Amino acid sequence: MKKTILIPMLLLALAACKKDGADTSKEPDTPKQPYIVLKTEKNANTATITLLTDAEPSDRADVWIDLNNNKIKDPGEEVTKFDNFNEYATYELKGSQTITLYGKVTVFGCGKQEISSLDVSKNPALVTLYCEDNKLSSLDLSKNTALLNLLCINNQIAGNHMKQLINSLPANNEEKMALIKENGDGNSLPAQAELQAAKAKNWKLYQLTGIYVELLN
């Protein structure tokens, strides 16, 4: 049976991590660090990008953002604002549309940032991902075994790419939730087989309709 619930209640449930702040000036050993790579279509020389980042307090000193894609931590690339739902930080792009976030990040939000590709496969610690209102045509979550919450509405993930996304959702014993489509957006609804496969992996999939979300499986 399908259900509807108010979207604020769902979104408040889509986050659960901790806070505090620290920074470091050392250059990381990048091959050993977890990382997330994204590509934006914003102007690399004049635009800013706004991101949500959280990590366990013991891991925050190693979190930084490579804004010029040179794999070196330069001044201004420290991440000092950590939050699991509301406190987004804004960074100036430094000549590159490819941006890498280094460190063991548990929450990552990049909504409404004109992102055309997102690779989270090298950060298995990720628990919550918000990537709504972008230009993504595919998303692979098969390496994100800790993931519990996903918000990816208003992208362009359709057909076989939506099937691949749903099939890539990780399985564990915890209940997980994903808001995957809004009426009229570029995402497509998963087929019944994918809905059942997601349910078997303890994922509840939702569609946004107006101010309500509808349980699909």
Question: 178 Cβ partners below 8 Å, 6+ apart?
Answer: 149, 150, 151, 152, 169, 198, 203, 204, 205, 206
Specify the pLDDT at position 18: 34
Contact 160, 186 (CB under 8 A): no
- Per residue in 145-182, pLDDT (tens digit) is 999 999 999 999 999 999 999 999 999 889 999 999 99
Provide the phi-psi class of 160: left if phi over 0, else alpha when psi is between -120 and 50, else beta. Answer: alpha
What mean pLDDT do residues 178-191 have?
95
Q: Are 97 and 40 in contact (CB under 8 A)?
A: yes
pTM for this prediction:
0.86
- Count of CB atoms within 10 A of residue 19's CB? 13
Residue 10 confidence class, pLDDT cut points 50, 70, 90: low
Q: How far is CA 171 from the centre of its chain?
A: 17
pLDDT at 11 over 90: no
pLDDT per residue as tens digits for the range 80-119? 999 988 899 999 999 999 999 999 999 999 999 999 999 9
Confidence of residue 4 (pLDDT cuts 50, 70, 90): very low
pLDDT of residue 8: 43
The answer, yes or no, to whether residue 6 has pLDDT greater than 50, is: no
Q: What pLDDT does 32 receive?
A: 79
- Do 217 and 191 form a contact (C-beta atoms < 8 A)? no
Spatial distance between the Cα atoms of 53 and 125, rounded to a whole number of angstroms? 13
| Mean pLDDT score, 74-81 | 94
